[in-house]
Amino acid sequence: MAREGSGRAGCSRRAGARGGGPWRPPTWEVSDSDGEGPAGAEAGATACGPVEERRAAAEERRAVAEALRPEQALRRVAVRVDAALLEDAGADILLEALRALGCEYHVEPQRPARSLRWTRAKPDPCPRTVPSEVWAADEQDVLLLLEPEEFLQGIQQLTQTRGPSCSVPWICPESSTSPRLAVIGLDAYLWSHQPNSQEMRQPESTSVARAAVALSWPKVEEALVLLQLWAHLDVLLVASWQELSQHVCAFTKALAQRPFRRYRESRAFSFCVAGHRAASERVASDGTGLRGIWWRQIRQFHRVSPTVAHAIVTAFPSPRLLQQAYRSCSTEQERLALLADLPVKMGEGVRPRRVGPDLSRRICLFLTTTNPELLLDLGS
């Protein structure tokens, strides 16, 4: 009792010290030690858990972005050049272009000879959220350079002995992959080997000359189509080493960006980035949250209550499903009235209502019209 009385007296003295104002009940403050113990520790772990998960997810996204960045990806691509190509004077143009691009290149013997091969290394450390198939190398990243004479001899053999027993000269039977072909200066070679009237009266001396005479540009184009459709071989025709170097650099850049494209295509919803918000709705990479955005989009129409939007989203969980329903309608009036009779639950003891023809018409026009100046709300 004495303790309680002294407490009241202390309150009266404090009230008097404040100038005789109205008495206020004492307020209780929770100290830092009140959260200690099992209950406080559990609450703290619950509060810190989502924060740590978001921080770890953000760090993982930064690691993925850094690993897939074009500058970093280009440094992990190496072009392996066959040593036999250095015998050509124009090979210096190719090596200088690769050096200016910023990727590695190695001069070493390759099979087949006079070929270029691309290899790509995985980042270290490799992000855990990126599937392993994203970094898979493509065995068909081989470019075989041919001289015009060799190419003409090969396509002449192909066109003369076409059939089930015919074999493509540049494909190894033991290999399951086929390289792409590149021919430098074929146009100039054909023009320089066109026979004049005197040479046409003289018999050809070599098989190479016969190949050059027999294969004109229409025959070459026919052979190119045959190689692509029957042998699945792509042929690159370039006029100079400078043009070939531009193609090699462009292909190297595309190869460096291939892991990013594969990673984007491997996700269920590649257009959604986990952690980003749209209309205050969190959208995950698996599509969770898109239905809430569809609900908010319907709520943006004038005079649309939450229950009406919920009824529409329940019947058509996505805009694509509603558009498919519109396309299945046979007449325009059927499309405009598709949502009119949709029931809306108002609660217990309340008579249910419908979406109505006005909102049904506005949503239909919003999803089907091609006129950007069309006024949806006639009452506005």
Encode pLDDT of 7-20 as tens digits: 444 444 444 444 44
Q: What is the structure's pLDDT at 29?
A: 40
The segment with the largest mean pLDDT, out of 4-13, 139-148, 218-227, 328-337, is 328-337
Least confident of 213-222, 233-242, 335-344, 351-360: 213-222
Residue 327 has pLDDT above 90, yes or no: yes
17-29 burial code (b ≥16 CB/10 A, e <16): eeeeeeeeeeeee
pLDDT bracket for residue 176 (50, 70, 90): low
Segment 310-321 mean pLDDT: 92
Token pair belonging to 39: 């209950």
Q: What is the structure's pLDDT at 242?
A: 94
How do beta strands 180-184 and 142-146 pair?
parallel
- Give the integer Cα–Cα distance in Å for 277 and 280: 6
> What's the longest Cα–Cα distance across the chain?
137
- Condensed to tens digits (0 to 9), the pLDDT of residues 240-273 reads 999 999 999 999 988 888 887 777 777 655 555 5
Least confident of 92-96, 263-267, 319-323, 345-349: 263-267
Residue 272 has phi, psi (to 5 degrees) of: -105, 135
Q: Which residue has tokens 């005479």?
A: 213
Q: What is the structure's pLDDT at 95?
A: 92
Q: What is the structure's pLDDT at 195?
A: 63
Residue 127 has pLDDT above 50, yes or no: yes
Residue 93 has pLDDT above 90, yes or no: yes
pLDDT bracket for residue 82 (50, 70, 90): very high
Q: What is the structure's pLDDT at 324?
A: 92
- Give the integer Cα–Cα distance in Å for 253 and 257: 6
State percent of the chain over pLDDT 90.
25
Segment 344-363 mean pLDDT: 86
Q: What is the structure's pLDDT at 357?
A: 92
The answer to whether 157 and 119 have CB atoms below 8 angstroms apart is no
Question: Strands of 115-120's sheet, edge to edge?
Answer: 104-107, 77-81, 115-120, 142-146, 180-184, 235-238
Kindly report the average pLDDT of the chain as a whole number: 75
Residue 41 has pLDDT above 60, yes or no: no
Q: What is the structure's pLDDT at 198?
A: 54
pTM, 2 dp: 0.54
Token pair belonging to 362: 């506005």
Q: What is the structure's pLDDT at 62?
A: 75
Q: What is the structure's pLDDT at 312?
A: 93
- Condensed to tens digits (0 to 9), the pLDDT of residues 197-239 reads 555 555 554 444 444 445 778 888 888 888 888 778 889 999 9
Short-list 230, 224, 122, 222, CA closest to 183: 224
Residue 277 has phi, psi (to 5 degrees) of: -115, 145
Residue 306 has pLDDT above 70, yes or no: yes
Residue 5 has pLDDT above 60, yes or no: no
